[in-house]
Amino acid sequence: MFMKYLHVYWVQIKNNFVREAVYRTNFLTALCVDLVWIAIEVSLFKVIYSNVEVLAGWTQEQVYFFLGIFFASDALFTILFQRNFWNFSDLVNKGELDILLTKPIHPLFLALSRSLNLTAGLNIILGLSITAHYAQAAGFPGGYHWLKLIFWILIGLFSAVMIRFLFSIWIFWTDRSWAFSRLYYQFFTFATKPDQLYPKMIRYLILTFLPFGFIGSVPARALLHGLSPEEYLQIFVVLTSFLILNSFLWKTGLKRYQSASS
Amino acid sequence: MNLQWRLAALKNGLQDATAYRIEFFFEIMGSAFVPAAIQWVLWYAIFQLGGKQEIAGMSYPEMLHYTLVSLLFTQVRGGDHDFELQEMIRSGQLSNYLLRPVGVVEFIYIRGVAPRLFIATLCLALGVLFSFWLGLSPIRMVGAMFLALLGNLIHYQLGAALATSAFVWEEAYSVLMIKNMAVSLLSGELIPLNLFPESMRWLWQSTPFYLYVFGPTQYALGYWSHGEFLYQLGLSCLWVIGGWLLIRLTWGAGMKRYLSLGG
């Protein structure tokens, strides 16, 4: 069973490599977009730290350490899932889901693994380089603790998938999901700052109902200072709740689905 | 000058944008409150948590006023209709427009600017109300909104010129995204541009982006004198003329390369 899924995924990866190789200019310009985005986020904090020394207990080096983790985690999401979520509404609107439903494999697996965005690969390297560069100055102990980074990047990825899915699934009930996607990216801005900067109410929101803080901020805090047992429990409860809610919404949505194709 | 088709395009653009009302509402809310919340968070962290009294000569209430007023101009600062142009070039839909007796760049702008004009009217009304509450001049608010609308035009002109790279590379999406990202930082919608250290000020001073949000906000809040405002208004007009020339140049060159294949 697992090998079957792995084989299907491998075929998808190969197809995506071929597609990226055909559109080389697009590949290069997309790389530039990512580089500019990183440059802008870094510049924003550079400007802020030219006026203050510490921001809510975060030094400049610690914020860059956080940004590195955030970029790496987000890049992984972009590579594996971003395009699939953009295409998700078409699956329902245009009836393309019909084809996936007839395949002898879980339709959601196919829906979320069909397209890869390989241009973001450089961002993972850049993100990890930024993290590594500022690790010592930020107070990261290093050594075997680097292994924890993999775990926390995966937590960031899982959180992003859960939230994005919750913003996309409403396409079964609404005709267009453009507004929800747009809203997701508006709220996503909350993930680009350490959670301790936020006032209590917003901080509570991004650590519970909209856990954007789990993408980069909480992982960075966990690696720099460690988390309390209550915080670990909170992460577990929130992500499990999201998984259950999303599964329920997917099943309910499928029951509502009416093929739009001929 | 034929006003009839322009008014029709304007009406069509507004109808198109508001056809999905919930979507339109979400878009306005999202683009208004999230950037404001991010700004507020930064000021909260610096002043309330960090205990700072002043940064770059601005106190906490002044920063909050900046956030509140800049929000009005952020709503006006640009649309995505330059993306529409690049998509038309890429997909070949441009051919349909070439047959029509209207300029395609102007037509797309007028249709795209319609919802922005609607939002600008709402923001101006809100701004005038704010001005009484914050003790600002309503006249300045009107002038600032006019500057913001000129900024909207410059933003589109630059986008329309950049969209022509699709004639060469088949798509200009990434180029336009880079422009929008630069605008988000250099227009002053994320932070007031006077926070930039001296060594980095050339970054925003060398582009017209500061005329979209930072400039109007400075004038509305009374930080710019009327003389400074008129000077910046003149500068905006020069950018508009420059943008118009740039469009003629890039679209003229692009059309010579344009190939529309298929039925």
Contacts of A26 in chain B (CB under 8 A): 169-171, 174
With an 8 Å Cβ cutoff, is A24 touching chain B? no
Residue listed under structure tokens 């047992």: A229
User: Which of B27, B50, B174 is nearest residue A29 as measured by Cβ atoms?
Assistant: B174
Q: Do B38 and A54 touch (CB under 8 A)?
A: no
pLDDT recorded at residue A250:
96
Whether pLDDT at B178 is above 60 = yes
With an 8 Å Cβ cutoff, is A166 touching chain B? no
Number of domains in chain A: 1
Residue listed under structure tokens 């450089």: A122
Residues 170-189 of B with CB under 8 A from A: 170-171, 173-175, 177-178, 181-182, 184-185
Residue A57 domain flag: no
Q: Do B174 and A33 touch (CB under 8 A)?
A: yes
3-state SS of chain A is CHHHHHHHHHHHHHHHHHHHHHCHHHHHHHHHHHHHHHHHHHHHHHHHHCCCCEECCEEHHHHHHHHHHHHHHHHHHHHHHHHHHHHHHHHHHCCCHHHHHCCCCCHHHHHHHCCCCHHHHHHHHHHHHHHHHHHHHHCCCCHHHHHHHHHHHHHHHHHHHHHHHHHHHHHHCCCCCHHHHHHHHHHHHHHHCCHHHCCHHHHHHHCCCCCHHHCCHHHHHHHHCCCCHHHHHHHHHHHHHHHHHHHHHHHHHHHHCCCCCC
User: Which of A30, A55, A187 is nearest residue B174 as measured by Cβ atoms?
Assistant: A30
With an 8 Å Cβ cutoff, is A50 touching chain B? yes
Q: Do A52 and B50 touch (CB under 8 A)?
A: yes
Contacts of A43 in chain B (CB under 8 A): 185, 200
- Single out the residue of A183, A185, A236, A191 nearest to residue A216, CA to CA: A191
Residue A261 domain flag: no
Q: Do A182 and B170 touch (CB under 8 A)?
A: no
pLDDT recorded at residue B154:
96
Q: Do B46 and A52 touch (CB under 8 A)?
A: yes
Residue listed under structure tokens 């500068």: B235
pLDDT in tens, chain A (262 residues): 888 899 999 998 888 888 777 777 777 777 888 889 999 999 999 999 999 999 989 999 999 999 999 999 999 999 999 999 988 988 888 888 988 998 889 999 999 999 998 888 888 999 999 999 999 999 999 999 999 999 999 999 999 999 999 999 999 988 677 778 888 888 898 999 999 998 899 899 999 999 999 999 999 999 999 999 999 999 999 999 999 999 999 999 999 888 765 4
Residue-wise pLDDT tens digits, B234-259: 999 999 999 999 999 999 999 888 87
Measured CA to CA in angstroms, residue A106 lies from A16, A99, A202, A244, B180 at distances of 20, 12, 36, 17, 38
3-state SS of chain B is CCHHHHHHHHHHHHHHHHCCHHHHHHHHHHHHHHHHHHHHHHHHHHHHHCCCCCECCECHHHHHHHHHHHHHHHCCCCCCHHHHHHHHHHHCCHHHHHCCCCCHHHHHHHHHHHHHHHHHHHHHHHHHHHHHHHCCCHHHHHHHHHHHHHHHHHHHHHHHHHHCHHHHHCCCHHHHHHHHHHHHHHCCCCCCHHHCCHHHCHHHHCCHHHHCCHHHHHHHCCCCCHHHHHHHHHHHHHHHHHHHHHHHHHHHHHHHHCCCCCC
In whole angstroms, what is the distance from residue B210 CA to residue B187 CA? 4
In B, minimum Cα distance to A28 occurs at B174
Question: Higher confidence at residue B6 or residue B27?
Answer: B6
pLDDT recorded at residue A7:
93
- Single out the residue of B198, B186, B185 nearest to residue B56, CA to CA: B198
Q: What is the pTM of this model?
A: 0.86
A–B CB contacts, 8 A cutoff, strictly below? 104
Q: Do B30 and A182 touch (CB under 8 A)?
A: yes
Q: Measured at the alpha carbon of residue A108, what is the angle toward residues A102 and A113, in degrees to the nearest 5?
A: 105
Q: Which domain holds residue A74?
A: 2-50+70-256
Residue A60 domain flag: no
Residue A64 domain flag: no
CA quadruple B34, B36, B39, B40: dihedral, nearest 10 = -110
In A, minimum Cα distance to B42 occurs at A197
Predicted-complex ipTM score: 0.81
Contacts of A202 in chain B (CB under 8 A): 37, 41
Q: Which amino acid makes up residue B1?
A: M
In whole angstroms, what is the distance from residue A34 CA to residue A14 CA? 23
